[in-house]
Structure 1
Amino acid sequence: MAVLQPLVDLAAICYLHGVRHVVLSPGSRSAALTLAFSRHKDFEMHPVMDERSAGFIALGIAQQTGVPVVLICTSGSAAYNFAPAIAEAFFQQIPLLVLTADRPKEWTHQFDGQTIYQTEIYGKHVKKFFEFPSDYAHSDAIWAINRISNEAVNLAGNLPFGPVHINVPIREPFYPLDTDSLLAPTNLRITVQTVPEPALTIDDWNVLLDEWDDSGRILIVGGQHQRCEKLNHALSKITEELDVPVVADSIANLSGSELFIHHHDLILASNKNQEELVPDLLITYGLSMMSKELKTFLRDNPARKHWHIGNDGVWADPLKSVTRQIAVNASWFFETIFEKIDYQLFVQNADAENDPSYMDNWRKKEQSACREQEDFLTNLTSLTDLSAINSVISNLSGSNQLHVGNSMPIRYVNALGRTDKLAGLFCNRGTSGIDGSLSTAIGAALVNNVPTTLIIGDVSFLYDRNGLLLKTLPSNLKIVVINNGGGNIFRMIDGPARQPELEDYFETKHSFTARRTAEDAGLVYMSASSPDSLEHSLHEFNLLEQAGLLEVFTDPEENRLTWKKFKSITSD
């Protein structure tokens, strides 16, 4: 039997629950955890030097697989460095099982190395906190560790997905002897949690269908959501056959119907004739919305009825108008409500009673915005953040997965509205921080087996470049760094843009490039500083059979002027 057998059992329990990926940062106190998982032989181990990057790489893997990823670190400040990724995973509902090694409790605040207060260190940003006993002599301790291990991995992988933290105090000796066998017993107890699927009663449906029938203007709006073909198919039927407009940001991964509304940023940038777009019944699904224009419009013009669909147990009301929370799966709900309405119309030999002109109003504005956007981009002769990102997206194939950094890149991507044909779009909009975007994309590319492109700003890239400190980077990863010499978003925001301290304390102007970082990481490096050089570079870049980085240099003031003009093209 191993000196720390319960930790060997923990690894086996995780495997039997379907966990396959372990991200770890090296350390001594965590050695027993590292060896328990690595010597199991059936896990894919991902050693990452920097704990902050490790957390986001684990998030990227879990984001793709939908299965909890184990995240291991040693004691002390190492655990704190997981915090940004854990907060993002909590609000984006990504399953992680966080294992932090610790000193036994009696050594806390006794001038012992790498010893801090680790109990509930992540506060409310985990679904639940557990702590193993540090002594295993009594059978109750073995039972408790087994019970906690089963509960924690079940909890991370049940809705709402999210991070679960186990703090693991470990006594010395914690390195096994050569004679120790790190094997779990054959009679290891596994506890499986069965979660009932939420459903709606006949009475519930009658009430919902009555509210639908009483609403002339019905609008469906999607928040952040992983790509789901069943959901997109159901929404396609609703918009095409029932004349209900469906609006969603790029992070909603809405695709399928040509009638979907993707250019609401431009449509709602103008205050003209917005009253004809106000819904009577608003139906939302998914997590956060990112379009400020859409959120402002819906807050300023609250619908009489607002249903939010989602079985994640989160009672959120960001638009300040929810009248009904419907705790069911979104794809099931939209499939079912379409079937019920379609059958009802068939039996009655009638057409849908909602106002068809409402759909027409949205569609006319969408078509106008598309034409004006195309004209604007065609006549744009300089290389700017906007034109560069448009070129990158235009050169991606339908098999590409696109990851986007926060701050301005995701705002550009959302306003362009051209990502519905891609294999999926991902952005860390749980906390919307610039930290970890690069590492998340690396984690995703390690497991998704598809071409993976990241568009990221220079500050965000520099901030997270320790994510590149892997032994081998995935060959399917392509990184596009938009380098405008600082935090360009602050030129776009009226408040900081008017301050004399803009360049020194908001933009944090710099002269760094990604060249040496790319070379150190073994990435093929390319650069572009004009429209022609970008087109030439993109062609070669997309043909690369190994990981590469393309750096695009733009002027911050030109970016500001172009963005301002772009957002006003529908105001005339």
Structure 2
Amino acid sequence: MAILQPLIDLAEICYAHGIRHVIISPGSRSAALTLAFSRHDGFEKTVVMDERSAGFIALGMAQQLGAPVVLICTSGSAAYNYAPAVAEAFFQQIPLLILTADRPSEWIHQLDGQTIYQSEIYGKHVKKSYTIPADYSHKDARWMINRSANEAVICTQSIPPGPVHINIPIREPFYPSTGENFAVSPDVRIVKKTESQATLSTEIWHKLLNEWDSFDNILIAGGQYKKSEKLNNSLDKISRELGVPVLGDSISNQSASEEFITYHDLFLPISNSDRLRPELLITYGLSFISKSLKQFLQNNPAVQHWHVSEDDHLVDTFFSITNQIPVSAEYFFENLFDRLDYQHFVQGEDSTNDASFQENWNLANRKFKRLSIQYLNNLTSLNDLTAVNMVVNALPAASQLHLANSMPIRYVNSLGDAVKHLEIFANRGTSGIDGCVSTALGAASITEKPVFLLVGDVAFLYDRNGLLIRPLPDNLKIIVLNNSGGNIFRMIDGPANVPELESYFETRHPFTARRTSEDSNITYYEASNFESLNVVWNQFLSNNTISLLEIFTDPVDNAKAWKDFKNHIAAEW
């Protein structure tokens, strides 16, 4: 038996639970973990030297797989570099299994190299944290390690899924000796958890339907959610046949109906709230992008607010929640429609909802869609807004579009249903700019779909270490909006009006993505006006390897274009 046999068995436990992808960052203290997984034939292994990028690459993979990805790193600050990705995975409910090698506990704070306080290092940003014994000789220690490993993998996937951490103190020697038996224990124990689906009783459904029938003005709003044909079909039926407005930001991936409300980010700040205020609000999904929507619903609270979520955590973004319904959105809305449809059939009547409420939402949505398209189509100069509008409308159907935070996601969200042909992803768990390149890399390495990343120059430069992995996925295309700094601060009234804007907020810089592309062997294109963009666009799309298009714009022009766009539409309304 190998000296570190429980770690060899840990790899087999992960495999038996269906894990197939492992991200490894090089290190010595983690050697036993690295060898346990690298010598196992069942895993796809990716080596990433930068742990911060490694964490987000794993997140992008797990996001696509719907299954845990293993992260392995050495002791010390290496483990801390996973923290941004771990926090993002926690709030996006993405399963990760983080394995951090550590020094034995007696060496903490004894001036020993690469030794920090690693036990529970991620705090509340993991579902659960384990620290296993450093000594494996006693049978109880081996039993505890086996039990913890099985429990940790189960925990990552239990609803709601999320990251789980196992901290692993390892004593020397941690490299196998020549001829040492490096094989899984013949009696390694695998513990499974039977899956179940949450449902609602007939009694609860009767209560919910009675509450539904007591309101005329009902609104359904979706937060960040994976693209789901089943859910979209149910929402489409509820909207068309029951007369209920359904809205969602771009990250809700609502795409089945022309009736869905998608331009709310533009019209809610200036619309008549009395006509649009819901009596019953039903929400599902994770975060919302639109500040306008959040402020509208906070300032006009519904009488009843149902939030459909299997998360135990109570979320009250709009100050109005009255009922958390612990089932999946697919189950809830499919059953809601079927039961209401049957009820109306038995009673011999159509929907009793106030038709004018949905029409008020639809009128505003249609008008602002028309105003938005007309205004943008008449602009002739290249700026961030017009570039994003052109790019989004020209992307091939069924592609994935990954959006960096700051302005790219706000531009796209203002374009309404221009993105309905795309599958939208964004790191809105913590909404940071870190990791967007690496997340897209991880996603592209799993899916066979075309993957596009729309990213600002600062976010791109911040995360370019992700491009050090090999091989890079050929199906990834990166679009960098380079306005020489953090342009969002020019859009915000506070920093936009202070003399320190350029030096301390925008952090103006002269860098481009050209050298990074050359270093990573990425085909590079650039454009600084519509003429050059039109010339290179088809070349960029048709290139059959990973490629990058850098669009250069002026920050002052960008700020003016964005404000003029909002002001023009407000004036027309």
Alpha-carbon distance, 1:57 to partner: 0.3
Query: 2:101 matched to 1:101?
Result: yes
Query: 2:58 matched to 1:58?
Result: yes
Instruction: Flag the 1:238–1:420 CA change in 2: closer, same or farther, 3 A.
Output: farther
Q: Which residue of 1 aligns with 2:25?
A: 25
CA distance in 2, matches of 1:148, 1:72: 17
Q: Which residue of 1 aligns with 2:240?
A: 240
**TM-score, normalised relative to structure 1:** 0.99
Alpha-carbon distance, 1:536 to partner: 1.9
Alpha-carbon distance, 1:180 to partner: 2.1
CA distance in 2, matches of 1:313, 1:144: 27
Contact kept? 1:29, 1:102, Cα under 8 Å: yes
CA distance in 1, matches of 2:49, 2:431: 24
Q: Which residue of 2 aligns with 1:311?
A: 310
Query: 2:462 matched to 1:466?
Result: no
CA distance in 1, matches of 2:161, 2:182: 30
Alpha-carbon distance, 1:394 to partner: 1.2
Alpha-carbon distance, 1:419 to partner: 5.0
Query: 2:571 matched to 1:566?
Result: no
Alpha-carbon distance, 1:367 to partner: 0.8
The 3-state SS of whatever aligns with 1:209 is helix
**Residues 504-526 of structure 1, C-alpha deviation per residue, up to 9 Å, x if partnerless?**
10000011000000110110000
1:333-412 equivalences under 5 Å are 333-412=332-411
Contact kept? 1:235, 1:246, Cα under 8 Å: yes
Contact kept? 1:445, 1:452, Cα under 8 Å: yes
The 3-state SS of whatever aligns with 2:445 is helix
Alpha-carbon distance, 1:269 to partner: 3.2
Alpha-carbon distance, 1:183 to partner: 1.7
Query: 2:555 matched to 1:556?
Result: yes
The 3-state SS of whatever aligns with 2:274 is helix
CA distance in 1, matches of 2:187, 2:109: 40
Tell me, which stretches of 5 or more residues in structure 1 are unaligned? Answer: none
Contact kept? 1:133, 1:168, Cα under 8 Å: yes
Alpha-carbon distance, 1:418 to partner: 3.6
The 3-state SS of whatever aligns with 1:71 is strand
Q: Which residue of 2 aligns with 1:81?
A: 81
Amino acid at match of 2:229: E
Q: Which residue of 2 aligns with 1:287?
A: 286
Comparing 355-364 and 185-194, the one that deviates more:
185-194
Amino acid at match of 2:379: L
Q: Which residue of 2 aligns with 1:194?
A: 194
Contact kept? 1:150, 1:190, Cα under 8 Å: yes
Amino acid at match of 1:406: N
**Residues 243-270 of structure 1, C-alpha deviation per residue, up to 9 Å, x if partnerless?**
1010000011111111111111111132
The 3-state SS of whatever aligns with 2:120 is coil
Contact kept? 1:86, 1:125, Cα under 8 Å: yes
CA distance in 1, matches of 2:257, 2:186: 52
1:206-355 equivalences under 5 Å are 206-270=206-270, 272-355=271-354
CA distance in 1, matches of 2:179, 2:568: 73
Amino acid at match of 2:514: R
Instruction: Flag the 1:96–1:182 CA change in 2: closer, same or farther, 3 A.
Output: same
1:390-539 equivalences under 5 Å are 390-418=389-417, 420-539=419-538
Alpha-carbon distance, 1:186 to partner: 3.0
Alpha-carbon distance, 1:549 to partner: 0.5
CA distance in 2, matches of 1:268, 1:493: 19
**Residues 148-167 of structure 1, C-alpha deviation per residue, up to 9 Å, x if partnerless?**
00000000011111110000
Contact kept? 1:310, 1:326, Cα under 8 Å: yes
Alpha-carbon distance, 1:54 to partner: 0.3
Q: Which residue of 1 aligns with 2:127?
A: 127
CA distance in 2, matches of 1:423, 1:46: 28
Comparing 515-524 and 420-429, the one that deviates more:
420-429
Contact kept? 2:220, 2:282, Cα under 8 Å: yes
The 3-state SS of whatever aligns with 2:70 is strand
Contact kept? 1:496, 1:502, Cα under 8 Å: yes
Alpha-carbon distance, 1:109 to partner: 1.1
Alpha-carbon distance, 1:440 to partner: 0.3
**Residues 150-208 of structure 1, C-alpha deviation per residue, up to 9 Å, x if partnerless?**
00000001111111000000011111123123221232211112354222122211111
Amino acid at match of 2:59: L
Instruction: Flag the 1:55–1:68 CA change in 2: closer, same or farther, 3 A.
Output: same
CA distance in 1, matches of 2:515, 2:37: 35
Amino acid at match of 2:374: D
- 4+ long deviations beyond 3 Å: 418-423
CA distance in 1, matches of 2:17, 2:422: 28
Comparing 511-520 and 535-544, the one that deviates more:
535-544
Amino acid at match of 1:53: S
CA distance in 2, matches of 1:366, 1:468: 40
**Residues 259-315 of structure 1, C-alpha deviation per residue, up to 9 Å, x if partnerless?**
111111111132x32220111100000001110000000000001110000112221
Contact kept? 1:393, 1:418, Cα under 8 Å: no
CA distance in 2, matches of 1:64, 1:297: 33
CA distance in 1, matches of 2:439, 2:211: 42
Q: Which residue of 2 aligns with 1:542?
A: 541
The 3-state SS of whatever aligns with 2:446 is helix
Contact kept? 1:486, 1:507, Cα under 8 Å: yes
Instruction: Flag the 1:94–1:244 CA change in 2: closer, same or farther, 3 A.
Output: same
Alpha-carbon distance, 1:420 to partner: 4.3
Amino acid at match of 1:412: Y
CA RMSD after TM alignment: 1.0
Q: Which residue of 1 aligns with 2:16?
A: 16
Identical columns (%): 59
Contact kept? 2:5, 2:185, Cα under 8 Å: no
Amino acid at match of 1:549: L
CA distance in 2, matches of 1:533, 1:264: 33
CA distance in 1, matches of 2:502, 2:158: 46
Q: Which residue of 1 aligns with 2:40?
A: 40
Comparing 506-515 and 416-425, the one that deviates more:
416-425
CA distance in 1, matches of 2:387, 2:159: 38
CA distance in 2, matches of 1:310, 1:363: 27
CA distance in 2, matches of 1:196, 1:450: 31
Amino acid at match of 1:275: D
Comparing 469-478 and 562-571, the one that deviates more:
562-571
Contact kept? 1:266, 1:568, Cα under 8 Å: no
Amino acid at match of 1:34: T
CA distance in 1, matches of 2:324, 2:280: 13
Contact kept? 1:309, 1:327, Cα under 8 Å: yes
Amino acid at match of 2:336: I
CA distance in 1, matches of 2:530, 2:80: 43
Contact kept? 1:419, 1:425, Cα under 8 Å: no
Amino acid at match of 2:123: G
Amino acid at match of 1:119: S
